[in-house]
Structure 1
Amino acid sequence: MIKSFLSVLLLIVCASVYSQNTITGKLIDLETKQPIIGANVYVSKLEKGTITNLDGDFKLSNIPDGEFKMVVSFIGYTTKTFSFSSPSGNPVIIELQPSAIEMEEVIVSTPFHKLQSENVVKVERESLEDLKKAGAVTLAEGITQIAGVESITTGAGIGKPVIRGLSANRVLVYAQGVRLENQQFGDEHGLGVSASGVESVEVIKGPASLLYGSDALGGVLYLNPEKYAESDSTSIDASYNYFSNTVGSEANLGLKTSGEKWSYLVRGNYAVHSDYETGDGVRVTNSRFQEKDLKAGIGFQDTKYKGDFRYNYNNTNIGIPGEIGEQTTSKDIISPYQKLDNHIVSLSNKIFLPESSIDLKVGYLFNNRKEFEEESPDPALEMHLETLNYDLKYNAPVWGNFETIFGVQGLFQTNENFGEELLIPDASIRDFGVLGTTHYHLEKIDIQAGLRFDTRNINTQENGTVGEPGYFQAIDRDFTSYNGSLGIKFDLFENLTTRINAASGFRAPNLAELSSNGVHEGTNRFEIGNANLENEQNIQLDLSLEYRNEHFELFGNAFYNKINQYIFIAPTNELIDESSVFVYTQDDAKLYGGEAGFHLHPHPIDWLHLESSLALVIGEKDNGESLPFIPATSITNTLRTEFDSFKWFSNNYSFITVKSTGAQNKISDFETSTSGYTLVSAGFGGTIMIEKVPLEIRISGNNLFDKNYVSHLSRLKTDGIANMGRNISIGIQTKF
């Protein structure tokens, strides 16, 4: 099927008419009329962009015929959307208004690719550059800097995103534009994706089943890959980071080159860390990990077709910590440990029609998960998960003020076991969904609505002997669901934006919930699945308020999430093989809370930034009992400075962050309460020129006062093991 599909694409490309529509223009300061150098110029519909040169000029080639919107942005100026026609005979002159407000970026995870100020759904976006500047060691740690997002961790190397109290199969992760599948139901292994080669992170908080189908009931973590080099240019970049706590290091090397139509990139990353040290000076035995990551891409674009082929290989060897033992900074992997190999192959295609376009994304993913126990060269557990997914969307011609998209999505998935132990049975999964969504735009009001139908088939194979531990019954179940969303964005007053959204979502039970029958690794629980589980179905109401002027920004988000047939695990009074028995069951539940904060950047001293945010979520069953793994309330305060130049350095920055996390006493039956704590982080950096080669230097410290604490979302909490103590990171990066 894939070969036939590629052949069709090749015919489309060969049949394209290579007309050379080119758009040229200049960006200038509205007040001084001086050219703006290095500004971003981006056509979201074409996913094509460039930057202005030393004269403020830009050129975009291979533009199809039609009407398009160009987004222009630069630090220190208001982001502007500019409409133009192709072909265009005259250069365009665009004036940008100086402003201390942070520049906006185009949101990719929503269907219409608009600026956040134009989106009906609130989406949080952070660049990886900013997360690294704030001292993030891993991608899982970096996303916790977004209000309302936390991470379930196992040591320093494993983290799974938690969005407003929901995690695992209730939160979808997208990488390279395709749905990431890597046994995400388990929280004892990581994302399987490195931060290397990721440009930015977008977070949809709340049900996104309309756009993404099953498992997006709690939200979406969307990882945007790095862009190709500008046309007719080549760049090489390299970086190195050292981490004091784990005596760890990370090296990265990337090469990008682009011609008029073809673009190429390749990037490699290697990270190695020893056991991390807690605040009381104890190293957590076997929390060490190693990670290798390779990414490559080939892009093509002309006036009729745009294609982007990406490949990512990620290999992680990570220890499974238990009790505290030998104190060492060795980086050699010892048993027990996991070896995870993750392959992602994606092909994104966009075909430009006279007044519409077709988007097709196809992904193939192979996840090989192995677990090695003491004194055995062979894996005790080995699972191969293969997934082929597709996403086809038709962007219909604009009719009046309506933008409309129709689409179909689906996946074919198989899971096979090759080890002596079985965590989940051999199985196959089939998904199919059809959707329609429309956006209605007026001058001060935007409305977005959509409907979707999904069906999922789960088929598992019988294994073992009936009545004995490790027996898996054969299951053949179909799950269907209808979902919709309705949202409105409007301006109550000048500079005040209001968003009100209602959306439903669903999640079919996963293989572990349906079929478990044995001791689950790392939990010391004998878990028994329930083959009769039904869909989780939810509806969430969101209210978002945002006020912005040139001096400060205020925001407040409130949500209420009602989940019917919420699946959870509960203890019984039984013991099997000296392990407590837990069973999967269902009950109605609800989560509610929100985020609030402000960002002060007084003009004209706009080098100064004061940011503060509060995140709160409460999760409970209808009988009043608390749900597990609900993050504690947290308050984060950050003081930042940014200077264009200071002595020999340019692009200077510094920050100090104080994050206070409250006690968590609202706990489930198998959790223990957690005390509150406060952590302080700080850092600074800048760029220095050495013989016309830029060298960026970063120094940051996390948990500077070496606080000995335990996070409520740490899986090592039950063993009485604390989180990481003080960590100083030093990084250098160059590009030429």
Structure 2
Amino acid sequence: MQRILFFISLFAISHLSYSQNSLSGTIKATDDHAPLEGVSVYFPKLEKGGVTDANGIFYIKNIPLGNYQIVASYIGFQTISKSIVIDKGDNKLNFDLAPSAIEMDEVIVSTPFHKLQRDNVMKVEHVKVAQLKAAGNMTLAQGITDIPGVSSVSTGMGIGKPVIRGLSSNRVLVYTQGVRLENQQFGDEHGLGLSDAGIESVEVIKGPASLLYGSDAMGGVLYLNPEKFALSNTTKGDINLDYYSNTDGLSGNVGFKTSLDKFKFLVRASGDSHVDYKTGDNDRVTNSRFGEYDIKTGIGYQTTDLKSEIRYNYNKSVLGIPDSIGEQTTRRSPDLPFQPIENHILSSKTNIFFENSSLEATLGYTFNNRKELEDSKDEPALHMNLATFSYNLQYHMSKWGRWETIAAIQGMHQNNKNYGEELLIPDATTNDIGAMATSHLHLSEKNDLQFGLRYDHRGISAGPNGEIGSENYISELNRNFNSFNAAAGYKIDITQKLLARINLATGFRAPNLAELTSNGVHEGTNRFEIGNPDLTNERNLQTDISLEYKNQHIEWYINGFYNKINDYIYLQPNGDNVENTPVYVYNQQNANLYGGELGFHLHPHPLDWLHWESNFQTVMGKLTDGDYLPLIPANNISNTLRVEFDNRDKSLESCYAFATFHTTFAQRHVGNFETKSNGYNLLNIGLGGSLDIYKQPIDIHLSGNNLLNTTYISHLSRLKSDGIPNIGRNINLGVSIPL
């Protein structure tokens, strides 16, 4: 691998070009032909762009030769995407943008061809983190539950893990900074290990993404887009502060970024501190307190034919592990048991551009240090280190007619080490390698086809642990797993306003170390778990169908899926007990999941400031023997009334207000060691705006979640078995000050 990287670097240096290819143009409104200031003009593939000045003029330089998509976007206007050929020297392109009350289309980064949402063959959800924060969400794990089809398995407020259409844990892959995040995803007692500070947006692939990402993406991908660098020859900074009444929570971050013609730099530091949360009964849940400290930084270099960036993220979380409503206190330091968890993420991405083709190399190193302190704050009972090196080499082939093709080699090398007395999984080494090719065929202006194939190999080796014949003995493990996968999708614009998508994709997941090797009591579950070293790959085939309609007044969508999983791995009691603890064993059986999402958005013209949004989501999961799958989210529906005003000529530049009524239905279809859950209703209200005070812009948002202080227990709460409710009323006040 080092030799490959050396030749890539050597090739990059030898291929640098000093030609100054540029693009300029003017952007105007279609209705009055007035120039538009502040329009973003962006090359998604190059991650390079500019902004129009007061005369509507933009200028972007140092662009490589070739054929590229360019996107022009502006709030209140329809986003436009065009294909353009960059020739040597100065290039010209003008845009006319039409006013629109519809939300801006976003460029999808998690799929390989970087197209707008409406042009993408796969249905991918996209939401900005600023939008999640404005809704009063305390953490990123809580915020993603606002995305239809996405839920979270939670342990209080500090610990949450994503669930996509009923699948979670190692079946959902998290990507950040363009690399896979590996932090013992099989465990229940820790969360994402990421702060929302320095993350610009979230994309969700709801379904098998093994073609693009390999094992562990059979249920979907949570793709976190990092904060962009500043535009060339600009410098920016900002301070953001939030207060949460329920947990006396304090959250803040400060960022700075600057860019020259070629060099770019950014840094952001953040911190959060929360006391025990209060339920709807105004009882504090003992030891649910948590804190988080995070720093993200990056440096970039870009010329005409070369773009390279290195990013680093350090995150430390201190998580109390709650299990009762006991002592009522507002202390911030955790009681025993608690977990201090550290994550280091180092990533590098380099693009070399040729005429109509490019080479991309993404390298990642993640290091997860997980401890659990049970009886002493000095000696951890559980101490695990997980080091992962990952690589992704992609060649974007020359565009041939209507074809675009990408070929890639991806993989990782991973080591797990134990240093504490307790052992959840043994010391082990995992090696992955996969090869993939995918193509996009633009059949016509209304028809697009995308398909691909992939092969993966995973090897897992672990030495024996403990004494032969002892209760917690784990035998030696050497397993290899192989898989072929395919995906195909078709998008058609049935009319100018109605489009349809159909996608078929296979996925797979190799069993994780806990499923293969467990032999002991699993912390926090009151179960003695016994792994099965003979487990095979989980394999699935999912069909997705979606319809979307948009006009001047109304938007609606219907998404449906059917997911057939062969050899689904699950826990089942075998009737035995070890020291009065029930024994559960890992088994395999075929399973089926099906459901979907419905959405509706009304924005009646000329009342473009008025919005009514509604969405409904449902999922059902069953084993072939008739038992229901565990951790399946309950059906729910949300209705939101939102108003937005834009007053650019006044001190109050823009403002909004919303009211959301969220209904979660009872969950009666439960796994064999779950209990049923009751339904509940939550009312959330918020408002915010951008103020201009003495020429200093300030963004303010105020929101109230669960305003009626409802006492409820989510079906996906791990505190449900103890009868502990979720969070009660919470008021959030946030201020953002650009510098």
The residue that corresponds to 1:142 in the other structure is 143
Residue 430 of structure 1 aligns with an amino acid whose one-letter code is N
Q: 1:3 to 1:690 in 2, by over 3 A?
A: farther
| Structure 1 residues 376-403: Cα deviation after superposition (integer angstroms, max 9, x where no partner) | 5111110000000000111111111111
Q: 1:530 to 1:561 in 2, by over 3 A?
A: same
Displacement of 1:90 after TM fit? 5.2
Residue 52 of structure 1 aligns with an amino acid whose one-letter code is T
| Corresponding pairs, count | 736
Residue 614 of structure 1 aligns with an amino acid whose one-letter code is F
Query: Can you give the 5+ residue segments of structure 1 that lack an aligned partner in the other structure?
Result: none
The residue that corresponds to 2:244 in the other structure is 243
Over the aligned positions, Cα root-mean-square deviation in angstroms equals 1.3
TM-score by length of 2: 0.98
8 Å CA contact 1:408–1:434 kept in 2: the answer is: yes
2:28 aligned with 1:16: no
The residue that corresponds to 1:629 in the other structure is 631
| Structure 1 residues 86-111: Cα deviation after superposition (integer angstroms, max 9, x where no partner) | 23545322111111121101100001
Displacement of 1:643 after TM fit? 0.8
Residue 410 of structure 1 aligns with an amino acid whose one-letter code is G
Displacement of 1:491 after TM fit? 2.0
| Structure 1 residues 246-269: Cα deviation after superposition (integer angstroms, max 9, x where no partner) | 001001000000001111000000
* Alignment equivalent of 1:699, drawn from 699, 702, 707: 702
Secondary structure of the 2:721 match is: helix
Residue 133 of structure 1 aligns with an amino acid whose one-letter code is A
**Structure 2 CA distance for aligned equivalents of residues 361 and 540 of structure 1:** 28
2:39 aligned with 1:36: no
**Structure 2 CA distance for aligned equivalents of residues 355 and 123 of structure 1:** 26
2:691 aligned with 1:684: no
Displacement of 1:414 after TM fit? 0.3
**Structure 1 CA distance for aligned equivalents of residues 242 and 142 of structure 2:** 16
Displacement of 1:437 after TM fit? 0.6
The residue that corresponds to 1:447 in the other structure is 449
Residue 607 of structure 1 aligns with an amino acid whose one-letter code is W
**Structure 2 CA distance for aligned equivalents of residues 602 and 663 of structure 1:** 34
Moved more, 19-28 or 592-601: 19-28
**Structure 2 CA distance for aligned equivalents of residues 604 and 462 of structure 1:** 71
Displacement of 1:18 after TM fit? 2.3
**Structure 1 CA distance for aligned equivalents of residues 85 and 507 of structure 2:** 39
The residue that corresponds to 1:362 in the other structure is 363
| Structure 1 residues 189-216: Cα deviation after superposition (integer angstroms, max 9, x where no partner) | 0001110100000000000000000010
Secondary structure of the 2:647 match is: strand
Secondary structure of the 2:465 match is: coil
The residue that corresponds to 1:228 in the other structure is 229
Displacement of 1:472 after TM fit? 1.1
8 Å CA contact 2:15–2:305 kept in 1: the answer is: no
Secondary structure of the 2:76 match is: coil
The residue that corresponds to 1:568 in the other structure is 570
The residue that corresponds to 2:665 in the other structure is 662
The residue that corresponds to 1:517 in the other structure is 519
2:722 aligned with 1:719: yes
The residue that corresponds to 2:103 in the other structure is 102
8 Å CA contact 1:134–1:655 kept in 2: the answer is: no
The residue that corresponds to 1:410 in the other structure is 411
The residue that corresponds to 1:460 in the other structure is 462
**Structure 1 CA distance for aligned equivalents of residues 137 and 36 of structure 2:** 32
2:512 aligned with 1:537: no
8 Å CA contact 2:577–2:583 kept in 1: the answer is: yes
Q: 1:11 to 1:491 in 2, by over 3 A?
A: closer
**Structure 1 CA distance for aligned equivalents of residues 407 and 323 of structure 2:** 50
The residue that corresponds to 1:672 in the other structure is 675
**Structure 1 CA distance for aligned equivalents of residues 3 and 502 of structure 2:** 45
Displacement of 1:4 after TM fit? 7.8
Secondary structure of the 1:699 match is: strand
Residue 526 of structure 1 aligns with an amino acid whose one-letter code is F
Secondary structure of the 1:493 match is: coil
**Structure 2 CA distance for aligned equivalents of residues 359 and 715 of structure 1:** 41
**Structure 1 CA distance for aligned equivalents of residues 674 and 62 of structure 2:** 58
| Structure 1 residues 58-96: Cα deviation after superposition (integer angstroms, max 9, x where no partner) | 111110112222110111111111233323545322111
Residue 135 of structure 1 aligns with an amino acid whose one-letter code is G
The residue that corresponds to 1:431 in the other structure is 432
The residue that corresponds to 2:329 in the other structure is 328
Secondary structure of the 2:516 match is: helix
* Alignment equivalent of 1:642, drawn from 632, 635, 644: 644
2:64 aligned with 1:64: yes
The residue that corresponds to 1:602 in the other structure is 604
Displacement of 1:187 after TM fit? 2.0
The residue that corresponds to 1:498 in the other structure is 500
**Structure 1 CA distance for aligned equivalents of residues 207 and 637 of structure 2:** 21
Secondary structure of the 1:142 match is: helix
**Structure 1 CA distance for aligned equivalents of residues 80 and 221 of structure 2:** 27
Query: Can you give the 5+ residue segments of structure 2 that lack an aligned partner in the other structure?
Result: none
**Structure 2 CA distance for aligned equivalents of residues 191 and 375 of structure 1:** 25
The residue that corresponds to 1:48 in the other structure is 48
Residue 631 of structure 1 aligns with an amino acid whose one-letter code is P
The residue that corresponds to 1:480 in the other structure is 482
Secondary structure of the 2:434 match is: strand
The residue that corresponds to 1:5 in the other structure is 5
Displacement of 1:15 after TM fit? 5.3
8 Å CA contact 2:269–2:294 kept in 1: the answer is: yes
Displacement of 1:8 after TM fit? 5.0
Secondary structure of the 1:432 match is: strand
Moved more, 488-497 or 709-718: 488-497
8 Å CA contact 2:24–2:59 kept in 1: the answer is: yes
The residue that corresponds to 1:256 in the other structure is 257
Identical amino acids, percent of aligned pairs: 54
8 Å CA contact 1:688–1:694 kept in 2: the answer is: yes
8 Å CA contact 1:301–1:307 kept in 2: the answer is: yes
8 Å CA contact 2:66–2:354 kept in 1: the answer is: no
1:201-220 alignment runs, 5 A limit: 201-220=202-221
TM-score by length of 1: 0.98
**Structure 2 CA distance for aligned equivalents of residues 30 and 312 of structure 1:** 43
Residue 34 of structure 2 aligns with an amino acid whose one-letter code is Q
2:271 aligned with 1:270: yes
Residue 64 of structure 1 aligns with an amino acid whose one-letter code is P
2:26 aligned with 1:26: yes
**Structure 1 CA distance for aligned equivalents of residues 55 and 250 of structure 2:** 40
